[in-house]
Structure 1
Amino acid sequence: MTSPGRRARMPAPDDDHIGSRIREQRRLARLTQRELADRIPYSLSLLSQVECGARPATPGFVTAVAHALRVDSSKLTGPPAVTALPADRLLTLVAPIREALDRYDLGPNPGLADVRPVPDLVTEADALCRQVRATHLRAAGKALPRLILELTHTVYTASATPVWQALASAYRTAHDVAVKLDHPDLARVALDRMGWAAGRASDPCLEAVQRYKRATLWRCATSAPLITSGQALLAGETSREALAVTGQLHLGLATVAAKDEDRAAVETHLAAARELADRVGGEAGDVHWLSFGRANVRLHELGTSIVLRDFDEALGRARGLKLPASTLTSQRARYLVDRALVEMEAGSARTSLAYLAEARKVAPEQTRHLPGTRTTIRGLVHMSRRAPDGLGGMARWIGV
């Protein structure tokens, strides 16, 4: 575990002011303070004081620095940019999903032509889940609205459990796309619809998954009761499906406990998940696309260590973790970003940057939106007097 006296390399939450952003952009430009001061009509002393937050940055100072660094002044004055697709492309992708979700209670859609047979709709719902796990977010997002409209029409004209289950799955995919594109409001709407469909499918595993997903969007105080209510739905169930979902719920509770800094509860839930992973056997990637299994448990062990800021322990776990070939692309990308973060904490800047570059190559859309990516890049900037080769391009890619 990290020793009590060790200072984390990640920037502190309150270390976000104009001066700190000037320092970030200066380092990304690979300039020393002296070199930047030579390019502006202000003293090195003033620049140093502004960067550390001891002096305010006047509008004239900001304009001069922005000109010297060849960046827009909003890079220095505004809040950190939200990583996302360009606004017009994002709207084109998200708006049709939102409109399809809004039709849930309007009954049959007489204007919908060429509705596919139920087996084809069920197959596509599963295929879109697979696309999201492969981090093909835009492809899945483009196909989702039509699928949701067809399934919504079909549950009113040919209601059956498989159709309700497929509709719940499509809603869950809408949630996953919305989360990965940083649209939590849309993700909550999608989960409400998922709960509506799962209840009508009378499928306790689907309902439990829905509560698990809801918990990931809420504060810890609300998350734990949601997850435990999902476990209650599966009490006494011994099917492989129920065991896998229950194990994933324990992993969710371990993450909640880590955020609450309850180390005993973290280990309790991880131990329960390990035992269930042994009972399930192998990686249950076919169970609601949760991919519950031994590898997923190890990924959560790494994740909880990071949340608890036990970076020495996290580094050991990251370096000792060998993911099976069957690991989903989305999980592999998250591991690579986590590995980059703990390597940065260990002071291995180039190794950290290499893992970020690999994550970008494996799953560019997901990597761009993972919070750990921004945290790692900002940490690398703060720990380096001059940005390593490649860091500037990576920072521009996510909007730093």
Structure 2
Amino acid sequence: MSQPQLARRMTFSTSLVKKVEQGTKPPSPAFVAGAARALGVKVSTLYGTSDNEALDEPSQESAGIADLRSALDAYDDPRPEGGTLALDAVIARLAAASGRILALHHTDVLSELPNLLHHLYVLADEPGRAGESARAALHDAYRMSATVAGRFRQADLAAIASERHIQLAPRTGDSLRIAISAYHRSTRYLQHGDYRRGLRLLDRTRDNIGTGAKDRAVTIQLDLRAAILAARAGDPAEADDYLGEARAVAEEFHPPAVPYYGVDASTTNIVVHWCAAPVENYNSAEAVRRASSVTVSDPHRPERIGHHHIDMARAWMLHGDRGRTLDELNKARAVAPNATRRHPSVAETTRALAVSESRATDSLAEFAQWAGIRL
């Protein structure tokens, strides 16, 4: 397939295809998804990563993954350890686990989740409101399981947990959880380049949202996801409309930032998306302008802050400032090291940075070695 033929199938310019192939421009996630779709391969194939990273060596992580795999398969044969936990105790432990996930302490959560799942399977069979409340907690536990499995690149395990999360939502007695599951389901469309379908899914699920405080927070979350879907679909004006709606809801109603696990309606998250959206369309000047007008810092959200610096590294690379690019990569490394090391855009940006240099600087070589990137 020639470069012009590939460009037509991807709906990107031939010039951009050439620059990405030459390594002078890092590909956006939309570019990679479009190329994967046109070539009939997985996104992970183009990134050079494995969908499923084996954890063969005995370790706390490998033991935790094995326990989580067994627990997810034990929904019809639960065997909780110790005495039966009350639902309030399970919910409190899930809340603590949520905080540890935000702090990127995934190994700690991995050791906690399997037994909590076993307890919740028993509690979820209770009749009436007690059962609904337990299923709502199980809904959170499934989503946490998907998050943690994904962090350890256990794609099959994350997919199982996500599917359970989606199927359970209508049985929790909380229509907002149906919307939350739709938000997470839209990740599939984001990853595989089916952006308009993802937008239609989010639009349909808004029927489950009312006007309460938690509803407003979920609305913000849906708007932020819709903004990225629209940006990757090639419509920056539509993306900014969604971002404007999210900001307006936050400023007028001040909804709770995290009313559910996996929902982040914080000002920080809105600003991170606002700065990132132009990068999706290779508009580095606008991304840099937006980032220069705000201060993005939140010790309670290292993953979000790290993601912001990764996005800005790509923006500065597109903008032609190699020094600022490496600065942003090192900022991401400082605040969220494991997430930065595993992020595919980091590898692409680092390689593009190396191509643009006549020779790799010591600082770039050191970063690449730390991240396991071969230059």
Q: Same fold (TM over 0.5)?
A: yes
Q: Give the counterpart of 1:142 among 111, 115, 121.
A: 111
Q: Give the counterpart of 1:322 among 291, 295, 298.
A: 295
Q: Which has the higher contact order (CA 8 A, sep 6+)?
A: 1
Q: Aligned-pair distance for 1:307?
A: 0.7
Instruction: Find the residue that maps to 1:379 and give its secondary structure.
Output: helix
* Matching residue of 1:278: 251
AA aligned to 1:366 is A
CA distance 1:133–1:320, shift in 2 (3 Å)? same
Q: Aligned-pair distance for 1:282?
A: 7.0
CA distance 1:346–1:262, shift in 2 (3 Å)? closer
Q: Give the counterpart of 1:196 among 145, 164, 167.
A: 167
* Matching residue of 2:40: none
Contact map agreement 2:214 2:256 (CA 8 A) in 1: no
Q: Give the counterpart of 2:179 among 194, 201, 208.
A: 208
Alignment partners' CA distance in 1, 2:139 and 2:82: 22
Alignment partners' CA distance in 2, 1:305 and 1:79: 22
CA distance 1:277–1:376, shift in 2 (3 Å)? same
CA distance 1:225–1:179, shift in 2 (3 Å)? farther
Q: Aligned-pair distance for 1:305?
A: 0.8
CA distance 1:289–1:273, shift in 2 (3 Å)? same
Contact map agreement 2:132 2:172 (CA 8 A) in 1: yes
Q: Give the counterpart of 2:71 among 97, 100, 107.
A: 100
Alignment partners' CA distance in 2, 1:84 and 1:385: 35
Alignment partners' CA distance in 2, 1:99 and 1:229: 35
* Matching residue of 2:345: 372
Alignment partners' CA distance in 1, 2:18 and 2:310: 14
Q: Aligned-pair distance for 1:248?
A: 1.1
* Matching residue of 1:54: none
CA distance 1:136–1:9, shift in 2 (3 Å)? farther
Q: Give the counterpart of 1:87 among 49, 52, 55.
A: 55
Q: Aligned-pair distance for 1:199?
A: 1.8
Q: How does 1:1-400 map to 2 (within 5 A)?
A: 12=20, 14-15=21-22, 80-82=48-50, 87-88=55-56, 91-104=62-75, 106=76, 109=78, 112-157=81-126, 159-218=130-189, 219-234=194-209, 237-281=210-254, 284-325=257-298, 328-400=301-373
AA aligned to 1:258 is A
Alignment partners' CA distance in 2, 1:363 and 1:252: 22
Alignment partners' CA distance in 1, 2:359 and 2:51: 24
Alignment partners' CA distance in 2, 1:123 and 1:117: 10
Q: Aligned-pair distance for 1:120?
A: 1.2
Alignment partners' CA distance in 1, 2:153 and 2:326: 23
CA distance 1:267–1:217, shift in 2 (3 Å)? same
Alignment partners' CA distance in 1, 2:211 and 2:55: 47
String of CA shifts for 1:245-288, please: whole Å, max 9, x gaps.
Answer: 01210111111111110233212212221221123327613444
CA distance 1:233–1:10, shift in 2 (3 Å)? farther
Alignment partners' CA distance in 2, 1:83 and 1:359: 23
Contact map agreement 2:217 2:259 (CA 8 A) in 1: no
Where structure 1 has 5 or more consecutive residues not aligned to the other structure, the ranges are 21-77
How many percent of aligned residue pairs carry the same amino acid? 25
Alignment partners' CA distance in 1, 2:292 and 2:152: 29
Greater CA drift, 109-118 or 374-383: 109-118
Alignment partners' CA distance in 1, 2:337 and 2:219: 31
Where structure 2 has 5 or more consecutive residues not aligned to the other structure, the ranges are 1-12, 25-45
Instruction: Find the residue that maps to 1:390 and give its secondary structure.
Output: helix
Contact map agreement 1:11 1:378 (CA 8 A) in 2: no
Alignment partners' CA distance in 1, 2:121 and 2:213: 29
Instruction: Find the residue that maps to 1:251 and give its secondary structure.
Output: helix
CA distance 1:227–1:95, shift in 2 (3 Å)? farther
Contact map agreement 2:216 2:255 (CA 8 A) in 1: no
CA distance 1:226–1:102, shift in 2 (3 Å)? farther
Q: Aligned-pair distance for 1:162?
A: 2.5
Alignment partners' CA distance in 1, 2:323 and 2:109: 34
* Matching residue of 2:34: none
CA distance 1:245–1:152, shift in 2 (3 Å)? same
Q: Aligned-pair distance for 1:184?
A: 3.5
AA aligned to 1:121 is V
Contact map agreement 1:259 1:307 (CA 8 A) in 2: yes
CA distance 1:356–1:365, shift in 2 (3 Å)? same
Contact map agreement 1:247 1:277 (CA 8 A) in 2: yes
AA aligned to 1:131 is R
